[in-house]
Amino acid sequence: MKYGFIKVAAAIPQVKVADCRYNIVHIEEQMRYAENEGVKIIAFPEMSITAYTCGDLFGQQLLLEEAEKSLKTLLSHTASLQTIAIIGMPIAVNGSVINAAVVIHSGIIVGIVPKTYLPNYKEFYELRWFASANDIMENEISLCGQTVQMGTHLLFETPDTTFGIEICEDVWAPIPPSSYLSLQGAEIIVNLSATNECIGKHRYLCSILSQQSARCIAGYIYSSCGFGESTTDLVFAGNGLIYENGTLLSQNKRFDFEPQVVISEIDIERLRAERRMNTTFSANKGSIKDIQKAIRIKIDQNLESNFSLTRSFDRHPFVPSGPALDQRCEDIFAIQVSGLAQRLVHTHAKSAVVGISGGLDSTLALLVCVHTFDKLKLSRKGIIGITMPGFGTTGRTYNNAINLMKSLGITIREISIKAAVDQHFKDIDHDPSVHDVTYENSQARERTQILMDVANQTGGLVIGTGDLSELALGWATYNGDHMSMYAVNTSIPKTLVKHLVKWVAENDMDEESRITLLDIVDTPISPELIPADENGNIKQKTEDLVGPYELHDFFLYYFLRFGFRPAKIYMLAQRAFGNDYSAEIIKKWLYIFFRRFFNQQFKRSCLPDGPKVGTISISPRGDWRMPSDASSAAWLDEIEKL
């Protein structure tokens, strides 16, 4: 298992009804293909050795014997393989027949899991042929000359992961067997199924599998019968689906007439991190005290292969694509507005004071204020937008700030900070030609003082503009733009801020404001604390100094959301950004990200209030509680060795 990933597969083999010898030839082909691809676990459909649609033939002694003989042949032919296969077949047990999943590895039957819930409605009449696991007393049987453990409570432990098994209808139950298996340690659930196709059924099936994998915080491999099954009354389109904690990783093409093997990688490290952080999952373990304790079966798997990821990773994990982006922007903006509205109502604030720079963050904060005042039926004149030109202010950002405030109809105040900061430089004996951290931070703190004092003058609140990415990097002046009375952008990453501003511009703005907003979206990100160049253009570009925000947001997401180590984040970033950033560049900015993240924790330890909008927040009162003097040595050392 490299970087926590385990390669798995769902197979849809070619079958002939009741022709076991034919069927195992194709099962063996797919097992060998999976082994060559480095697959650790491959699942086959329900009754894959006989085919599912044998009907009353399941009661025939010859078919049962042929199934066992064919399994024995398959074991012999695949004894050299390390890939674990889960295969469906009927098995005679003490006067009954069970619908079983057989786990095989290197020519050995590792365990047998019988189906628990047998459908007996509409087109399915399994109770006519099979006994439920609940009605079987035996916990081991003899099959193919081997004595094998049997039960629904088996957990299979490999060096990389632990998996459990349920069969088809089991997952449709109110409490599927996989729920209990997951609480006892199964990180992957395998489902052998025979799902026929009906209008709308596939979408419903996918929703169930997605939800169950999410509830179990598990990987889920689903393999269902395809072409070759009897079409006397039903059609089986073949479903190969692989999920990870609610997310579909890979799926086959349905209604295909050729055999298929669907492959993907389940991130076991990610699942383990999710379970560690989800206290509800741990607490729910108490509900299984009276459930039969799982029996753990170890499988000494040693599959050596050149690991390769087939999964793709979104370079902008905070920013969905398509219609989902519009929905996310709408939800986030509504959360921001609702949060600010409650704070204004609670404090009886008479005004909202915002520093307007003409940049993205202050623009978003202003838009939140405008919509909040509109929703509270307050005059927009109660919003006091203050533009505070300094030594680095350019004509483009200044004009955008003024134009936007005018078109939105808020109260405009312009207060230059140049004279005050010059006086401050004299007071502290600082040479203004030295453009160091003192030069920059003096301007930021002067602006904050103005905002705070105007808020006091007008009985209002200072609305903070800093975003999640800036806070993660500590790209804020302590007690300068770092501080406010309510921070509406505090858990929104920089890569998403741009989309939010654009979304508001395109969905709920007058034409004049829209034009200004779209130009702001296109303006380079800058604190504008260093004088412009000889042409009046922005000279100080944030991403030239701290690195591309798309990289930092990627690092931030996988570090905080899943607790990934630098080496894994580095590998994922190479896969996501390989065409745009070299490995050396990614490593450079990864080092800077971790160095700054640890060193700047003291700024996050005293953040103002602000609404959480997504799965990641670094509020010291909730999601992220880290000592300000924690050492980054282990993380930086790993990066240096990459």
Q: Which residues are catalytic?
A: 46, 115, 168
Q: Which of 13, 19, 22 is nearest to 225 (CA)?
A: 13
Provide the total of helices (H) and of strands (E) in the chain, helices listed first.
20, 22
> What backbone phi and psi angles, to 5 degrees, belong to 157?
-105, 120
- Nearest-angstrom CA–CA distance, 474 and 470: 6
Are 235 and 53 a contacting pair, CB within 8 Å? no
- Nearest-angstrom CA–CA distance, 319 and 517: 19
| Secondary structure (3-state) at 461 | strand
* Alpha-carbon dihedral angle through residues 170, 172, 177, 182, given to the nearest 10 degrees: 130
Cα–Cα distances (Å) from 357 to 187, 380, 395, 547, in that order, read 49, 19, 11, 21
| Strand boundaries in 247-328, DSSP class E | 247-251, 260-267, 295-298
- Nearest-angstrom CA–CA distance, 352 and 350: 7
| Secondary structure (3-state) at 468 | helix
What secondary structure does DSSP assign to 17-50, as a single string? Answer: TT-HHHHHHHHHHHHHHHHHTT-SEEE--TTTTT
Tell the burial category of 102 from Cβ atoms under 10 Å away from its Cβ (0-12, 13-18, 19+).
buried
- Nearest-angstrom CA–CA distance, 82 and 41: 9
Q: Which of 194, 79, 220 is nearest to 144 (CA)?
A: 79
Instruction: Let me know the angle formed at the C-alpha of 433 by 432 and 434, rounded to the nearest 5 degrees.
Output: 90
What secondary structure does DSSP assign to 245-265, as a single string? Answer: TTEEEEE--TT-SS-EEEEEE
| Secondary structure (3-state) at 640 | helix
- Nearest-angstrom CA–CA distance, 83 and 8: 9
> Hey, what are 555's tokens?
């690092």
In this structure, the strands spanning 146-149 and 260-267 are unpaired
- Nearest-angstrom CA–CA distance, 555 and 564: 9
**Crossing angle for the helix pair 583-599 and 566-577, nearest 10 degrees?**
140
> What backbone phi and psi angles, to 5 degrees, belong to 169?
-55, -25
* Tally of CA atoms within 13 A in the half-sphere of 134 that contains its CB: 6
- Nearest-angstrom CA–CA distance, 430 and 410: 37
Which residues is 355 bridged to in the sheet? 386
